[in-house]
Structure 1
Amino acid sequence: MFGNRLTRVLATATAALALSSCAAGSGGAPPAQAAPPQANSNADFDGTFLAGTAAGNGAAPGTGDLAPPREQRSPVARRWVQISADPADRASGPLRNGAGRALYFFTGDTPSAGASACAGACAETWPPVVVDPRGTVFLDRVPEQAVGHFVRTDGLTQLTVAGRPVYRYAGDTGDGRARGHGLDGAWFAAAPSGQAARLDPDGRDTATADASQGTYPSGGAR
């Protein structure tokens, strides 16, 4: 259904990772160092990684990241997820989904812990990036080894990048801006490295931001 499959079905690891405790704090700047990659270790995930975009692989309109608002919480929306690196700055630009919305990480999460500290009302504002355990993850300029997954306490399979759970922000409108970047000193647009993405002041394009502090350079955008 998704066109030619370019990569193998995700292999199940032979040993489960030990879970570490989740950080409860919600403040502070993102760490200066990238989180270690999380192994694809969840035995409950039997999905597929495909290189390229959803459209390029023939994903059905109105499904996955392109599902209409009323379907965002339905199995139709969990059928596939796309993770795209910024074409202008693959290393430090913001990750986006198939609808062009920025993906975020939360400093309250413990990297590579295989758990999320955002649930309930938090997950309403910051919807986790989830996919069906037998769904498809389209990787657009993102290496497969950077992407992991775990099962949340609500039973949904959430994706990680560089060991960090990734989320969307309900306040983003689809115009390309990452309005959630820096909110509460705890939410940052994610780069493939697991650091805060480099954004210009309008939250659109990459710039030479100080990723360890989530701030912008004195010289402004590129």
Structure 2
Amino acid sequence: MKRTSLAAVAIAATGVFGLTACAQPTETAAVEVAAARSSTPPGADAPADPEGVAVPELAGAETPDPPTAPVPEPTVAKTQKWVKIYNGPSRKDVTPPASIRTGSKTVELAATPNAQIGTYVTDGAGRTLYRFDKDSNKPPKATCNGDCAKAWPPLLIKSPGKIFPQGLDPKILGYVERADGTCQVTINGWPVYYFAKDSKPGDILGQGVNGTWFAVNPQGGKTKPLPDAIQPAPEQGGEGGDAPADAGY
């Protein structure tokens, strides 16, 4: 083969190898660009390719919401002998007693807003709780007994008892022993009662009766009377049976 031919072959071969060698940086750049794309966090500027052309931003995966912190279980804030009073509502469903006269080992209390009388306290079933002006809170004493307690059944708690409040300070909750030996829940020392004529959650038919009965507020105080509250009536005697609806005692 002539020298001229050999030189041409050598030049051609060099060109081939040169083309092959030039392809590798391009492939390497492509790999680097792909790696940069995969490592670019969502929202960051997209890297430019080796030729100076901006690489479109790749859609990143949505950032997951931070995990929700679990709601802590209520803890015991106060103990009165065999009754434990917690610092919040129970995390487990509590079935309140169907009857307002039986009492329960577990009592729920909740602050409930009302446009007419302000915020008052209900039990776990949403039934209104009242306080009686003729009772006392220092020291706690319940004076509604006998026929009075038929019209105004006390909120009773049995041993071993638990009280779960929502919207009330657990430190002001407790109980007082009644004349018949049962134990009645107190709010800031005031014994609390139901009204027998309240037939469903939200009823406040006992509000202001005889000027001595009021739905109790979360601090143990009285809520505002209604304009049409039952006013004092002549005393009505008689033993047994239901006490009159307007029994103020």
Q: Normalised by the shorter chain, which TM-score bucket?
A: 0.5 to 0.7
Match of 1:94 in 2: 120
Gaps of at least 5 residues in structure 2 are: 1-71, 230-249
Q: How does 1:1-222 map to 2 (within 5 A)?
A: 6-8=74-76, 10-12=78-80, 45-53=81-89, 56-61=90-95, 66-69=96-99, 72-74=100-102, 77-86=103-112, 92-198=118-224
Distance 1:116 1:194, change over 3 A: same
Higher helix share: 2
SS in 2 for 1:132: strand
Distance 1:59 1:51, change over 3 A: farther
Distance 1:85 1:114, change over 3 A: same
- Contact map agreement 1:93 1:198 (CA 8 A) in 2: no
Corresponding residue pairs, total = 158
Q: Please report how far the alpha carbon of residue 60 of structure 1 lies from its aligned counterpart in structure 2 after TM superposition.
A: 4.5
- State the one-letter code of the partner of 2:212: A
Give the structure-2-normalised TM-score: 0.56
Divergent runs of 4+, >6 A: 199-203
Q: Please report how far the alpha carbon of residue 201 of structure 1 lies from its aligned counterpart in structure 2 after TM superposition.
A: 6.4
Gaps of at least 5 residues in structure 1 are: 13-44, 204-222
CA RMSD of superposed structures (Å)? 2.8
Q: Please report how far the alpha carbon of residue 115 of structure 1 lies from its aligned counterpart in structure 2 after TM superposition.
A: 1.7
- State the one-letter code of the partner of 2:162: T
Q: For residues 186 and 207 of structure 2, what CA distance do their matches in structure 1 show?
A: 18
Q: For residues 105 and 165 of structure 1, what CA distance do their matches in structure 2 show?
A: 6
SS in 2 for 1:96: strand
Q: Please report how far the alpha carbon of residue 11 of structure 1 lies from its aligned counterpart in structure 2 after TM superposition.
A: 3.4
Q: Please report how far the alpha carbon of residue 85 of structure 1 lies from its aligned counterpart in structure 2 after TM superposition.
A: 1.0
Distance 1:82 1:68, change over 3 A: same
Distance 1:106 1:200, change over 3 A: closer
Higher strand share: 2
Q: Please report how far the alpha carbon of residue 50 of structure 1 lies from its aligned counterpart in structure 2 after TM superposition.
A: 2.5
Structure ID, larger Rg: 2
- State the one-letter code of the partner of 2:97: A
Q: For residues 6 and 193 of structure 1, what CA distance do their matches in structure 2 show?
A: 20
Q: For residues 175 and 114 of structure 1, what CA distance do their matches in structure 2 show?
A: 27
Deviation readout 1:63-98 (Å, 9 max, x if unpaired):
xxx2223xx544xx4121111112579xx5111111
Q: For residues 160 and 195 of structure 1, what CA distance do their matches in structure 2 show?
A: 12
Give the structure-1-normalised TM-score: 0.62
Distance 1:73 1:199, change over 3 A: closer
| Structure with larger RCO (C-alpha < 8 A, sep 6+) | 1
Q: For residues 182 and 199 of structure 1, what CA distance do their matches in structure 2 show?
A: 5
- Contact map agreement 1:48 1:135 (CA 8 A) in 2: yes
- State the one-letter code of the partner of 1:149: Y
Q: For residues 88 and 107 of structure 1, what CA distance do their matches in structure 2 show?
A: 21
Distance 1:145 1:123, change over 3 A: same
Q: Please report how far the alpha carbon of residue 138 of structure 1 lies from its aligned counterpart in structure 2 after TM superposition.
A: 0.9
Deviation readout 1:8-29 (Å, 9 max, x if unpaired):
27435xxxxxxxxxxxxxxxxx
Q: For residues 60 and 68 of structure 1, what CA distance do their matches in structure 2 show?
A: 12
Distance 1:140 1:112, change over 3 A: same
